[in-house]
Structure 1
Amino acid sequence: MQMTRVRWKVMFLVFLIATVSYLDRTNLSVAAPNIQAELHLTPTQLGIIFSAFSWAYAIAQIPAGLFAGRLKPRRTYFFGLWVWCLLLVGSTSAASFGAWVLFRIPFGLAEAITWPAASVLLARWFPRVEYSQAMALQNLGLVAGAAVAPPIVAAIIAYSGWRVAFIITGFIAGILGTIFYIYTKDDPAEDKRVSAEELAWIQQDKFVEPTSRTPRGFASVLLGRSSIWAVSIANFGLDFINFMFLTWYPTYLTERYHMSLKQMGGWAMEPYIFGIIAVLGSGRLVRAMTDSGLDSTMARRIVIFGGLLLGTLSLFIAAYTANLYASVTAMSFGYAFVMSILGPLWSTPAEIAGPRGAGFASGFVNFIGNIGGILSPLLMGIILQKFDSFTPAIIVSAVITLVCGLLFLVLYRVRKDRVVLENFMKTV
C-alpha cells in the first residue's frame, strides 16, 4: 500500500517542526560573529554557549521521551513550540556570557521533545516497513532547517539585526505548533480520514501489547539490547558532526576564508543542500533494497555503516585540502554522508521498542547522541583557541566518526533484540 495523503500530511508537519527546530538552533551560529564582537567573547566562551543548549538537550531526552509518551504528540508539540518562541524572544535581552548560557539551557530542555514525540507518532501512524521512509522525511527537516538558516538569518541580520531574526524564527515555531495541534490526531484510529483498510495496514506488524500499562522492567530489558546502544553510538557520531556544522561552520568560513556575512550565507548552504539529497536518497535506498528482497534490518545496517565510513573519508580529505572549493565541497560531502543515516537510524528505536517504548528508546538514543553534541562545539572552541586552526578539529571529528561506525557494525542486532523484547511483553 502506498502512503496516503493523510499520513504524508502528518509527516510533512513533523518535517516542518524539525525544520523550524534546526532553524531556531542554527540562528545563533549565524549570528555568532556579531554577538561575539558585541560581547567580546573568547572562542572558548562561544563554544560553551554553543554547547549549553546540548547539555540541557541531552539531559532532558529520557524525561522528554516519557513526557511525549504520556502527553501524546499533539499537546507535546503545541506546548513545546510556544516555549521555544518565548525563550528565543527572551534571549534577545541577553547582554553577557552568563546570560546567554542561562537562556540556552532552558531552550535545550524545551527542544528535547522534538524527536521523542516524532517517534511516538511514527510508531502509531506507520507500519515497520515504512519506518525508514517516514523518518527520512521527518529527519530531512534537520538538514532543511540548517540549510535555510544561514541565508535567511544572515539577510535578516544584515537589514534588521540579530535580535529581529530571533523574534521572527521564534514566532514561526509557536504558530506551527498551533497548526499541528489543530490538524492532527495522536492516533490514526481517531482520525476519520483514515479508512479501515489503511488502519489495518498500519497495524499489521505492531507489537503485541497485552497490558494497558508498561510492565515493570521493560526499560531495563530495552537498555540491555545491543542494538539500542548501536544506534545510540551512531547517533553520537552523527551529532558530533552535525553540531560541528551547526555551531562553528559559519565561523570556519568567515575566519579561514575571510568571507563576508553575505558570502558566508551562500556558502554555508552547500553542506545542507548535499545533505537534503543524501537524506532523501538513503530513505529511498533502504525501501528499494527491502522491495528487492533484502531484509530491512540488513538494509539499514549497510546504509548506516556506509554513511559513517564515507563521511569519515570525506572529512579526512577536507582536512588536508587547502583549495577553497575542494575543501568546502569535501566538507559538504562529509556532512551529507553522515546525515544520510538519519532515516535508517531513527526508524530503529520504534522498530525495536514498539509504540509503548518508542518515546523512551528514542529519548535514550538522543541522549547518547547529544553527548556528542555537547563535546563537539566545546572541543572546536578549545582547539581553535589553542592551535588557531580548524584542521586538528576536523581530523579529530573524522576519527570519532570512524570509531562510531565500527562500534555500530559490531553491536547492531535488531532481529535478535526485537525477539527478546516481544517475548518479554508476552510473559508479563
Structure 2
Amino acid sequence: MEDVSTVSTVGERTRTRVRYFVLFMVFIVTTLNFADRATLSITGSTMQKELGLDSVQMGYLFSAFAWAYVLGQLPGGWLLDRFGTKRVYAWSIALWSFFTLLAGVVGALPAASVVGAFFLCRLMVGFAEAPAFPGNSRLVAAWFPTAERGTASAIFNSAQYFATVLFTPLMAYITHAHGWRSVYFVMGGLGLALAALWLFVIHEPKAHPRISRAELEYIERGGGLVSLEQGAAAKAPLQRGALKQLLANRMMMGIYVGQYCINTLTYFFLTWFPVYLVQERGMSILKAGFVSSLPAVAGFIGGVLGGVISDGLVRRGHSLTFARKTPIVAGMLMSTSMVVCNYVDSQWLVVAIMSLAFFGKGVGALGWAVMSDTSPKQIAGLSGGVFNTFGNMAGITTPIIIGYLLKQSGSFAAALVFVGANALLAIFCYLLVVGEIRRLELKPA
C-alpha cells in the first residue's frame, strides 16, 4: 500500500484544494447523468403525439430506465468495490452515453419498431448508469472529511437540478427546432467526450499528482477514507452475510425506505412534470422546457443549502444525527406544498408553488451524505448500491402509478397528492425508524 510519504511534496505545508476539483468533476458528470435520464421527459410529448401513445404506455417508457438501473445497483456496487471507482465509472459514462446516442438512431426505424427498440435503449442506459451514484458516494467518502461531507454530497446531488436548469431549455429547443431524435445524438456525444476526460483527471487521494501532504493529512484526520480504493478495501471479495446485515439493520432500512420516498419526488419532476405543464397547464413544449428550469433553480439552491446547513450544525457541535435529520425533515415538509397546486389556476402561481416544493426537496435530499456517514468501510460500494436500489424503485413505480392515475381521473390532482404523501412518509422514516446516525460495523462472518 502506498504510504503518505510517497505523495507529491509540492506545497506540503500549504494545504491544496484538489478535493474541490474532484467534486467539480463529480458534479459535471452527475449533471450529464441526470440530463440523460430526463431526455424522455422533454421529448415525451412530441414522441407521444408522433407515435400515438397513451399515458400508460408513456408511463412504462418513462420507467424503462429505472427497471435496469435498479437491477444494476448491486452488481455496480460490487464492481466499484472490486475494481475501483475510476475505471468502473469511466466505463459507466461511456456506455450510458453510447446507448443514449443509439436511442436517436433507433428513432429512425419504422413506427411499429421504434417503441420496442427505444425501450431497450432506455433499459441499457439505466443499467450502465447504475454504478454512478455509489461511485459518487465512494469518492466523497475518500476525498472529504466528515465535517465537509454533507456539503460535498449535497453539491453532487444538486446536479440533478442544475441538469434541469442547463439542459432542459437546450433539449426543448433542439426538440422544437430539429426534432426529438436530435436530442439523443447531442447528449450521447457529450457523454462520450466526458468519459475520456474522466480517465485523464480522476485519481484516488494518495495517488493524485497535485495533492499536498497537508491536504491528504487534513482529509484523513477528519475521517476521510483516503485508502478506500487501495489494497484489501478495494479488492476484498464480498463478505458472506454482508448484504443480510445491511437489510437486517433498522437504521439502514429506515434510510433505504426514506430514500425511496424522497426519490418519488425526484422522479415526478424528471418524468411527468414537463408533461403536467403541457397537458394540465396548457403550456407549449418550448415554454414548458424553459419554465421547468425555474423550480430546478430553486431545487439547486435548496440542495446546496441543505448540505451547508447540515455541515454547519456538525461544526457547531451538534450530533451528526441532529445535523443530518433537521434539513431532511424541514425540506420534506416544504415539499408537501405541491398539493396546493390542485387549488390554484394561475400558471405562474403553480410555478412558484412547485419551486417551493422543489426547494424543499433539495434541502432534504441528504441521503447520500447519510450513506457516506453510515456505510461499512469494507463494502461502501455495495451499501451504496443497496441504498440506490431502494431509492430508484421509485423510478419504476412513480411513472407507472401516475400514468394509471391520469388514465383513471384525467387530471394530475391525485398524482400530486400521491407525491406529497411520500414526502410525509420520508419524514416518518427519519424521525421514527432511523434512530442514531453512525457508521455500521460489519460483524465477522
For the criterion TM > 0.5, the same-fold answer is yes
Pairs within 5 Å for 1:211-222: 213=236, 215-222=239-246
Q: Tell me whether 1:332 sits opposite 2:355 in the alignment.
A: yes
Give the distance between the partners of 1:183 and 1:421, measured in 2 at CA.
Answer: 33
Identity of aligned residues (%): 28
Q: Once the 2 structures are TM-superposed, how far is the Cα of residue 221 of structure 1 from its aligned partner?
A: 2.4
Alignment of 1:349 onto 2:367? no
Find the aligned partners of 2:159 and 2:69 in 1 and give their Cα distance: 18
Q: Residues 320-345 of structure 1: CA distance to partner in whole angstroms, max 9, x if unpaired?
A: 22222222211221122123222x32
Is residue 129 from structure 1 mapped to residue 153 from structure 2 by the alignment?
A: no
Paired letter, 1:39: L
Matched, 1:17 2:29: yes
Secondary structure in 1 matching 2:441: helix
CA contact (8 A) 1:136 1:280 kept: yes
Decide which of 306, 322, 332 is 2:345's aligned counterpart. 322
Which runs of structure 2 are paired with 1:271-290 in the superposition (5 Å)?
271-290=295-314
Relative distance call for 1:63 and 1:196 in structure 2 (3 A) is same
- Listed as ranges, the gaps of 5+ residues in structure 2 are 1-12
Alpha-carbon offset, residue 78 of structure 1: 1.5
Amino acid at match of 1:330: I
Pair 159,407 (structure 1): closer, same or farther in 2 beyond 3 Å: same
Does the CA contact (< 8 Å) of 1:238 and 1:339 recur in 2? no
Of 45-54 and 151-160, deviating more is 151-160
Equivalent residue in structure 2 for 1:223, among 247, 265, 269: 247
Correspondence for 2:197: 179
Counterpart check, 1:203 vs 2:220: yes
2:328 aligns to what? 304
Amino acid in the other structure paired with 2:56: T
8 Å CA contact retained: 1:78, 1:174: no
Matched, 1:54 2:71: no
Map of 2:128 onto structure 1: 110
Distance (Å, rounded) in 1 between the aligned partners of 2:246 and 2:148 = 22
User: Which of 44, 61, 64 is 2:76 aligned to?
Assistant: 64
CA distance in 1 between counterparts of 2:152 and 2:14 reads 12
Instruction: For residues 398-422 of structure 1, give each alpha carbon's deviation from its aligned partner in whole angstroms, at most 9, with x where no partner exists.
Output: 112212221221122344x53x517
1:223-242 matches, within 5 Å, as 223-242=247-266
Find the aligned partners of 2:376 and 2:382 in 1 and give their Cα distance: 10
- Greater mean deviation of Cα atoms: 113-122 or 332-341: 332-341
C-alpha spacing 1:182/1:355, structure 2 compared with 1 (3 Å): farther
Q: Runs in 1 of length 4+ with deviation above 4 angstroms? A: 1-4, 206-212
2:6 aligns with: none
Equivalent AA in structure 2 for residue 192 of structure 1:
P
User: Are the aligned partners of 1:230 and 1:409 in contact in 2 as well (CA < 8 Å)?
Assistant: no
Aligned to 1:97: 115
Amino acid in the other structure paired with 2:293: M
1:194 positional shift = 1.6
Measured after TM superposition, the shift of residue 2 of structure 1 is 11
Q: Alpha carbon RMSD of aligned pairs, Å?
A: 2.2
Question: Residues of 2 paired with 1:215 and 1:234: CA distance?
Answer: 26
Q: TM-score, normalised by structure 1?
A: 0.92
For residues 97 and 206 of structure 1, the distance between their equivalents in structure 2, rounded to whole angstroms, comes to: 46
Question: Using the alignment, how far apart are the partners of 1:103 and 1:221 within structure 2?
Answer: 35
Structure 1 unaligned residues grouped into runs of 5+: none
**Aligned amino acid, residue 322 of structure 1:** D
Is residue 2:101 matched to residue 1:83? no
Counterpart position of 1:421: 441
